[in-house]
Structure 1
Amino acid sequence: MTRFPYLATAVAVVSAAFFLVPLAATINFSLRMKRGEITLDAYRWLFRDDTFVSVLGFSAAASLAAIVLGAVLVVPTAYWVRLKLPAMRPVTEFLSLMPLIIPPVVLVFGYVRIYGTSSVLPLTMSEAGTNLLLVIGYTVLSLPYMYRAVDNGMAAIDITTLTEAAESLGASRLRTIATVIFPNVRSAIVSGAFLTFSISLGEFVITSLLNRPAFGPYLVQMGQDYAYQPAALAIMAFAFTWACMALMDFFATRKPGQGILPFIRRKTA
Structure 2
Amino acid sequence: MARVIFRWTVLSVMGVFFLLPLVAMVEFSTRDPETWPLLVDWPRLSSEYPALAEGILASLAQAALTSVLMLALLVPTAVWVRLRLPGLRRLVEFLCLLPLTIPAIVLVVGLAPVYAWVNYLIGGSSLTLVFAYTILVLPYAYRAIDTGLSAIDVKTLAEAARSLGAGWTTVIWRVVLPNIRSAVLSAAFLTVALVLGEFTIASLLHRTNLQVAIEYLGKSSATVSVAVSLAALLLAFALLLVLSLAGSSKKGKTS
- What TM-score range do you get, normalising by the shorter chain? 0.7 to 0.9
Letter in 2 for 1:88: L
Partner of 1:84: 84
Q: Structure 2: how far apart are the matches of 1:57 and 1:132?
A: 10
What secondary structure does 1:225 align onto?
Answer: coil
The separation in 2 between residues aligned to 1:109 and 1:78, in whole angstroms, is 29
Whole-angstrom CA distance in 1 between matches of 2:245 and 2:78: 25
1:6-155 to 2 correspondences below 5 Å: 6-32=5-31, 39-44=32-37, 47=45, 48-116=48-116, 122-125=117-120, 130-155=125-150
Name the counterpart of 2:42: none
Residue identity matched to 1:41: E
Residues 253 and 134 (structure 1 numbering): CA distance in 2 closer, same or farther, change over 3 Å? farther
Number of residue pairs the alignment of both structures matches: 243
Following superposition, the deviation at residue 54 of structure 1 comes to: 2.5
Q: Which moved more, 1:99-108 or 1:136-145?
A: 99-108
One of 179, 183, 186 as aligned partner of 1:188:
183
Letter in 1 for 2:110: G
Relative to 1, partners in 2 of residues 1:132 and 1:253: Cα closer, same or farther, differing over 3 Å? farther
Q: Which whole-Å CA distance do the structure 2 matches of 1:159 and 1:141 have between them?
A: 27
**Residue 143 of structure 1: how far off its partner (Å):** 0.5
Indicate conservation of the 8 Å contact 1:190/1:249, yes or no: no
Indicate yes or no: 2:215 matched with 1:220. yes
CA contact (8 A) 1:145 1:192 kept: yes
Taking structure 2 as the reference length, the TM-score comes to 0.81
C-alpha deviation, 1:70, in angstroms: 0.7
RMSD of Structure 2 on Structure 1 (CA): 3.1
Query: Out of 161, 165, 169, which is 1:166 matched to?
Result: 161
CA–CA distance in 2 between the matches of 1:127 and 1:31?
42
- C-alpha offsets along residues 110-149 of structure 1, whole Å, 9 cap, x if unaligned? 3442353xxxxx4213666644531011111110000000
1:141 counterpart SS class: helix
Matched to 2:18, the amino acid is: F
CA distance in 2, matches of 1:145, 1:59: 19
Q: 1:65 Cα deviation (Å)?
A: 0.7
Q: Which runs of 5+ in 2 are unaligned?
A: 40-44, 250-255
* Aligned equivalent of 1:267: none
Deviation of 1:82 (Å): 1.8
Between the aligned partners of 2:12 and 2:148, the Cα distance in structure 1 is 31
Judge which range, 16-25 or 228-237, deviates more.
16-25
1:207 to 195, 199, 202: 202
Sort the Cα spacing of 1:158 and 1:25 in 2 relative to 1 into closer, same or farther, 3 A: same
